Structure 1
């Protein structure tokens, strides 16, 4: 990438392969085209590698509305057999899991969503040897999991843990103190699910004789209530525990339950302050491990819990800002383990000995490991994804356990993602770029050699030939002492002698990335549509975003909405100096954190931005949840000025331009309270603005024609005001 010229942008990305002979009549896309799936990409259905490493399973949905678990050969792609069909067992197969030896299949035949990751499920177990199907509970349960030996199934029902013995068909209740909105066993509360990204808060021991689990005492956590309007005569309140920044969190405790003694033991972590348990895992030796964070989340203690229940800290990781939690943990046969850390400013892979002492840094350089794929014990090689080809790109690599003999396994610049077979013989690479829709190919893990192409999106390319698309140009733009990544779209018939309005799009949340060399998403199609109706579209990843080092990412600590907003305003000023951009017609939009940003920009940058759209925005960080907000801001009691000076609700008197505020009334994440309080502040400041509430829609604001309505509303607002 190269630095932007103040008067002229030079594109480094090639025109789409499908753009365009001027003699061919082409139509611009519509919102209806986007959200009725006309440009949907063909993908691979979720697959699971079998233990043999030469075959994988795909859950196929067939035209006769049956589902089959089918086996395929990695090498040829040919179907080698059917393991199970819904017709055979008489229930639908919504999803499935297998135990370690692959002789039992846990089948979900019904699922009702709760929050982002959680659900209530109807589950059965299928025995591949006896062909017997066993129902697990007459109720919908949560987070069912087979024991490693396949003889038992654990699950959570009404906040208590149970397990069923498949040999004698008996059910044992592990906990009895669970109670709705008071105490949860074995699954996470709302905030831990949302911010630490896990739901099942229990683990089977490797020998299937123990269950380690977390309990969440949320009796003192404040309740949040939102009305559900539905279709009945009266709406009803939906009430759940939601700790906002600085408020009381659930008290978390770690327990171990012995199946032999049928007794539970609370593990004493010897902590006197509030804490989170972000992960629990068993090592292959049977040792329980726990990743425990202080409430500020800048100290992570890695615990070992021995068989007697004694806990000790193996090592501690500290950061001036915060420590990220991940699942990048692999234990080796000698008890040592692999771990990722940003301790040298970039995220890299480290090897620790069994006592928790660092042995060596495996990867190094001014680039991030962006995905850890696993470790091949036989070849002693580690597989990972990184930004070595530049922060907007992703490549796939392997490296030896000694940190030597690194190999690049992907061969195209863009976004490469890998899915490895169990024994690391093969991997399926998913490749895309801003000019190439996803292509799925099979490669040898040893050297990345291509075995065959599995699937492409050539059919989508044919569809796109009939439409106008603007190219995505990747550049860097000098802003506030940094070269920030940016993409820009121009009309296909762009004329540098004309003057165009500019619409900026961003998200800007900590560690995020919007400027990436990958295929179009729905927002990109919409941006292209707007470009071909006479707008310049630009997206800038400012300070606080990811993949340019931890210092760049964490500079916004305790000041969310300060440096990110300064960068968007400054970038708009730089772009406004270009001959073909009308500096009096610059708009900005975003969703969630991006809505927080666009609101701040039209207020703090009221002489730069004339128009803004904020969808589901945080308008005051005091309204948002404890784990996310305090990770970056500490508490309001400790950092009142950081909260207040950068919250849009406190700057409504600065509004000059056109402002559209949108929210779903059933948003359990960013509550509609944010928008309602913003509306009241704007009204009392006597500021005119537009707003829309989508009844019973959550943070995603979708369902039926909702997205079509939403984006047509946004389109019309832009055309009328920018």
Structure 2
């Protein structure tokens, strides 16, 4: 018996000793830790079945499956059988017409900006088996009309629709000109900061096309040199920096029946934003969001599709700014809507009846609602996700239209990402925790798990093969009795009697959240690789981050970078007091806003941080776009101190530690100019630093070998300097 126990111990020790070490090849070449998802999940209108793309050799087969059982029911499209002029049509993306008799197929995607891409687009008619090409060129935003008889799309800055019965293509607009007038598609800054790109919408009865017209002729242009061929060529586009002119935006409504266009009345002010349009339940009434340039006054306008006349049905003001998103839904009574607001100091849901002027709170308390998942009009229920118990969680809830009978539908701890299914009898739940990869389940509207679609058992097994450090959620007490949420990765075989270096990671942007009870945290496996090499990794969400109420989030107003960097310096100072931390070896890194922060922290906290890495950082908010920047800072003309006192460019002379500055030369978002200006300031201050630029790479620094090269560079920099 004694021998058996010893043998077991030896086997266990041998097993532990044989655990693998993570490599950069695992992360960026082999995709060793890629999780499984539920691909192409697309529930159909009966709420009982869904479609999924199955790959069979070089064929793609679109099939229908039963939601409850997962049993295959039928095939709706096989690109090995249905071709156009002998060409196989790949299913890069697809959508059904509302009656589910036609399929819109998109392929050969060509990215434009973050959310936009050109596609070759086709319609497959299931009743006839015929395939119709929408246009000979690649187009933007091909979209069925609700009755399935037409497809609207954008080409060369003009809006069109194709009549699927006659094959005729109708030009809704003809005045589109590159870098001057855009119809039906967003300009760069709207796409990036208001987070949408298709700037048109069919009315529910298919009679009207509401669309944006951007006149960007007065917006200053920006030039991105592209280093290809013998001579570089310049990519030129319109980019409004802080304090500079925006596009003048009009909302137009085209009557398909009468071939007539009216302009909606959005007021006489042109220096404003129209961040959303949305059709109401009345097919002749369009809701237009009107936001002032300071972004602290929002009007909802109700516009008549036939005349363009409008009236204000809702107004909200905020002492700081108003965040715009899609958390608004009209109810079938044609007089009320559900929206969210921070009027209480936290983000909550309300029902607004614009005829009786009655506001009903649907949720309340010291927590933030994340989003409206859906409105069940038959049961008078609103489904939503919120961080009710703790900022680091997300759960699904339901409440009725009077704010009563609230129910928790996903009681499990962690983060639940919810996709509603037509009819609201079922939901797809993507559930994870800090240490558990995503599990995809089908739940009914009472919260009961019907079946598991994917449990990522293979990834869990793969992770067990590697010598991973422990990751845990913490609450750090720093500064003046301030508590910050954090996650911490400690090295495998962590010994609190030893001294370890610390690498801090953060993003820190307004309303963001890096610390959550979800899997994976950002760059999880790279951070684990560094932990295997003896580093403690820490990420703390400081002042300005989200899901802790308005005052915590908006304290950074007019002073981006000040309180955020104070908090990160305070975290590093606190970590330096821990007996197992080597306070002389604390570093920090980040990307984009996080790069702005890591630069600022190294310069301001030059007696705390030994090194920093800044990837694609803003070096002065004067160089960034106006919608984002002015939301938090107002204009440079109004807030000169706020811009310059917290700019890394202005504090470069304080650099003491080791600094790595990284940027892509074709970054259309945070321009390479930021790195150039910071580099110039460092040179003027006679400061030594390291730099790496990536030719023709955008903000994400992807393509070819770029990511592997970047993370090798950062790994070597950490190992050498921390």
**TM-score normalised by structure 1 residue count:** 0.95
- Say if 1:233 and 1:20 are closer, same or farther in 2 by CA, change over 3 A: farther
Matched, 1:262 2:256: no
Matched, 1:585 2:585: yes
Specify the alignment match of 1:50 in structure 2. Answer: 44
Specify the alignment match of 1:77 in structure 2. Answer: 70
Specify the alignment match of 1:228 in structure 2. Answer: 226
Deviations 1:563-616 (A, max 9, x none): 000000111111111111111111000000000000000001111111000000
Output aligned runs, 1:496-535, within 5 Å: 496-521=496-521, 523-535=523-535
Q: Work out the CA distance in 1 between the residues paired with 2:417 and 2:278.
A: 26
Specify the alignment match of 2:35 in structure 1. Answer: 41
Specify the alignment match of 2:23 in structure 1. Answer: 30
Output aligned runs, 1:357-506, within 5 Å: 357-445=357-445, 447-480=446-479, 481-506=481-506
Matched, 1:87 2:84: no
Aligned-partner SS, 2:174:
coil
| Aligned partner (choices 292, 297, 303) of residue 295 of structure 2 | 297
Deviation at 1:129, TM superposition (A): 2.4
Deviation at 1:115, TM superposition (A): 0.4
Specify the alignment match of 2:100 in structure 1. Answer: 102
Relative contact order higher in (CA < 8 Å, ≥ 6 apart): 1
Deviation at 1:202, TM superposition (A): 0.9
Contact 1:45 1:59 in 2 (8 A): yes
Aligned-partner SS, 1:125:
strand
**TM-score normalised by structure 2 residue count:** 0.95
Q: Work out the CA distance in 2 between the residues paired with 1:673 and 1:97.
A: 40
Q: Work out the CA distance in 2 between the residues paired with 1:86 and 1:195.
A: 37
Deviation at 1:178, TM superposition (A): 0.8
- Say if 1:194 and 1:500 are closer, same or farther in 2 by CA, change over 3 A: same
Q: Work out the CA distance in 1 between the residues paired with 2:356 and 2:128.
A: 44
Contact 2:189 2:240 in 1 (8 A): yes
Matched, 1:667 2:660: no
Deviation at 1:23, TM superposition (A): 4.1
Matched, 1:271 2:252: no
Deviations 1:501-530 (A, max 9, x none): 111100000000111111125611111111
Contact 1:350 1:358 in 2 (8 A): no
Deviation at 1:357, TM superposition (A): 3.0
Q: Work out the CA distance in 2 between the residues paired with 1:174 and 1:702.
A: 37
Deviations 1:304-325 (A, max 9, x none): 0024220111111111111111
- More displaced stretch, 320-329 vs 127-136: 127-136
Contact 2:514 2:522 in 1 (8 A): no
Structure 1: gaps of 5 or more residues: 1-18
Q: Work out the CA distance in 2 between the residues paired with 1:347 and 1:271.
A: 31
Structure 2: gaps of 5 or more residues: 1-11, 84-88
- Say if 1:21 and 1:436 are closer, same or farther in 2 by CA, change over 3 A: farther
- More displaced stretch, 356-365 vs 674-683: 356-365
Deviation at 1:272, TM superposition (A): 2.4
Deviation at 1:59, TM superposition (A): 2.8
| Aligned partner (choices 279, 288, 294) of residue 286 of structure 2 | 288
Q: Work out the CA distance in 2 between the residues paired with 1:226 and 1:315.
A: 41
Deviation at 1:441, TM superposition (A): 1.2
Specify the alignment match of 2:5 in structure 1. Answer: none
Aligned-partner SS, 2:553:
helix
CA RMSD of aligned residues (A): 1.5
Deviation at 1:101, TM superposition (A): 2.0
Specify the alignment match of 2:162 in structure 1. Answer: 164
Q: Work out the CA distance in 1 between the residues paired with 2:356 and 2:231.
A: 58
Contact 1:314 1:356 in 2 (8 A): no
Q: Work out the CA distance in 2 between the residues paired with 1:325 and 1:102.
A: 32
Q: Work out the CA distance in 1 between the residues paired with 2:241 and 2:698.
A: 18
Contact 1:334 1:354 in 2 (8 A): no
- More displaced stretch, 123-132 vs 194-203: 123-132
Specify the alignment match of 1:319 in structure 2. Answer: 318
- Say if 1:470 and 1:496 are closer, same or farther in 2 by CA, change over 3 A: same
Specify the alignment match of 1:63 in structure 2. Answer: 56
- More displaced stretch, 669-678 vs 519-528: 519-528
Q: Work out the CA distance in 1 between the residues paired with 2:227 and 2:13.
A: 48
Aligned-partner SS, 2:703:
coil
- Say if 1:107 and 1:490 are closer, same or farther in 2 by CA, change over 3 A: same
Deviation at 1:92, TM superposition (A): 1.6
Specify the alignment match of 1:187 in structure 2. Answer: 185
Deviation at 1:426, TM superposition (A): 1.1
Specify the alignment match of 2:130 in structure 1. Answer: 132
